[in-house]
Amino acid sequence: MTNVSIIGIGQTEVREHWDTSLRHLAWYAIEAALDDAITTDIDAIYVGNMLAGSLSRQDHLGALIADFAGMRGREAITVEAADASGAAALRQAVLAIQSGLVQTALVVGVEKMTDQTGSAIGHALATTLDQDYEAVQGATPAALAALMMRRYLHTYGLQLADFAGFSINAHRNAAHNPYALFRHPLPPERFAAGTLVAAPVTLFDQAPLADGAAAVIVTHSERAMDMSPHPVRIAGSALATDTLALHDRRDILWLAAAAESAQKAMRHAGITPAGIHLFELHDAYTILAALSLEACGFAPPGQGWQLARDGQIGLDGRIPISTFGGLKARGHAGGATGVYQIVELARQLRGEAGECQVPGARVGLAQSLGGSGGTAVTHVLTIDNFQPPFSAQADRF
């Protein structure tokens, strides 16, 4: 159990924000988080971003955003770990608070993915892969997801339609999320008719790229009760890595970093998968949703897809996922996505999820992946007065 709690959350709509600069977009999320918390006293800012240097020609976002948010002078950096940048930024904030050297920290994930088109976006996304051995051969994130999915279908004797449940669930939930990019349902017959992106991955297996920003404010748990009516505890936090290149892995159907970081975070929190009420996972592709469920212990290898088929990922299912639409329907805003997951999980635990509410949600897992799973960041969140089912005292890390 860490000594860190979330006292403020904020987000912008996930969509094209062509008329909004990076700094404005970040500010709108920060402003919402500051409004949500009972403080304006921020000591350090951790910006999660993956592609602003390539797509907006703007690096050095830490200082830029600190200044624009009225926090000129504060400690501020950018954290980059591909798509997992936002979650990795939260991880740095957790370490900073836990160190005692920082009292209150702001985490903001911000990304503008749609200002550029065509080859610019393709080249930028390929920087998250192994440039020398994958991207240089023309590989794209979608092409690598396709390799994993084709292998999965072959190994377990499945069809594309067996993955429909993931996207249908995501769209169903996003319909009630005013911040989501796609708020319409996805009928099974439409999923089946999806345009191929990289066989067998179709347009409906893959999350849309969009612009967005999300922010959370964290502080010591002891102080949190005075600074929020409903603090959310970060009970577990872990970051693990794997090879960037798929071909360097022993088994391309095992997300080793996802498994490692999930085990660490859950051990840290003193819980097991059976104690998790919902799971915001990284469904950038339906295959990643299935593999994440398996890596994190919610299904044996080869059976993650069955949770979708059997309706176990819905809001009232065994393990609800993508409860506000996930990457697939809320939209994938690059380095902001990991922070969106945390904001959404906090809303669930605070009981403020409206039509998206998972009944009785008190313990949630959020996991963000970078690239093809080369980085995985996992956080366990609980409502602050939650007691884990068994003592976590023995595990001090």
Q: What are 367's strand-pairing partners?
A: 378
Binding to its own copies by residue 51, rule CB under 8 A? yes
DSSP category for residue 299:
S
Q: Which is nearer to its own copies, 208 or 338 (CB)?
A: 338
What kind and span of H or E run contains 279?
strand 278-280
Single residue of 35, 41, 132, 310 touching its own copies by CB under 8 A:
132
Binding to its own copies by residue 223, rule CB under 8 A? no
Binding to its own copies by residue 162, rule CB under 8 A? no
Mark the segment that binds its own copies (CB under 8 A) among 9-17, 121-129, 175-183, 199-207.
Answer: 121-129
Taking residue 100's Cβ as centre, other Cβ atoms within 10 Å add up to 9
**49 Cβ neighbours under 8 A, 6+ residues apart:** 61, 78, 80, 85, 109, 110, 111, 334, 335, 336
> Closest Cα to residue 89, out of 335, 331, 397?
335
Binding string, residues 182-221; x marks residues near its own copies by CB under 8 A: ----------------------------------------
Instruction: Report the SS3 class of residue 6.
Output: strand
* Residues 284-343 interacting with its own copies (rule: CB under 8 A): none
Binding to its own copies by residue 62, rule CB under 8 A? yes
Q: Which is nearer to its own copies, 111 or 162 (CB)?
A: 111
Binding to its own copies by residue 137, rule CB under 8 A? no
Mark the segment that binds its own copies (CB under 8 A) among 34-42, 201-209, 238-246, 281-289.
Answer: 238-246
Binding to its own copies by residue 58, rule CB under 8 A? yes
Angle at 178 between CA 306 and CA 321, to 5 degrees: 20
> Closest Cα to residue 252, out of 221, 209, 295?
295
Mark the segment that binds its own copies (CB under 8 A) among 62-70, 206-214, 269-277, 296-304.
Answer: 62-70
Min dist. Cβ of residue 42 to its own copies (A): 12
Min dist. Cβ of residue 304 to its own copies (A): 21
> How does DSSP assign 43-68, residue by residue?
-EEEEE-SSHHHHTS---HHHHHHHH
Binding to its own copies by residue 86, rule CB under 8 A? no
**356 Cβ neighbours under 8 A, 6+ residues apart:** 173, 176, 177, 315, 323, 324, 347, 348
Binding to its own copies by residue 82, rule CB under 8 A? yes
Binding to its own copies by residue 252, rule CB under 8 A? no
Binding to its own copies by residue 50, rule CB under 8 A? yes
- Round to whole Å and give the CA distance between 350 and 366: 15
Q: Which is nearer to its own copies, 99 or 117 (CB)?
A: 99
- Round to whole Å and give the CA distance between 214 and 11: 4
Instruction: Report the SS3 class of residue 13.
Output: coil
CB 313 within 8 A of CB 353: no
Min dist. Cβ of residue 102 to its own copies (A): 7
> Closest Cα to residue 31, out of 69, 64, 85, 76?
69
Which amino acid, residue 256?
Answer: A
How far are the Cα atoms of 55, 124, 201 from residue 117, in angstroms, in the given order? Answer: 9, 10, 21
Min dist. Cβ of residue 317 to its own copies (A): 31
Binding to its own copies by residue 282, rule CB under 8 A? no
Single residue of 15, 16, 31, 75 touching its own copies by CB under 8 A:
75
- Number of residues interacting with its own copies: please give it, by CB under 8 A: 69
Single residue of 123, 230, 267, 362 touching its own copies by CB under 8 A:
123
**310 Cβ neighbours under 8 A, 6+ residues apart:** none
Binding to its own copies by residue 63, rule CB under 8 A? yes
Single residue of 7, 33, 102, 321 touching its own copies by CB under 8 A:
102
CB 252 within 8 A of CB 246: yes
Binding string, residues 345-374; x marks residues near its own copies by CB under 8 A: -------------------------xx--x
Computed over its alpha carbons, how large is the radius of gyration of the chain? 19
Q: What are 111's strand-pairing partners?
A: 212
Binding to its own copies by residue 11, rule CB under 8 A? no
Residues that bind its own copies (CB under 8 A): 2, 21, 23, 44, 50-51, 53-54, 56-64, 66-67, 72-82, 88, 91-92, 94-96, 98-102, 123-124, 126-132, 135, 237-244, 248, 256-257, 260, 370-371, 374-375, 396-397
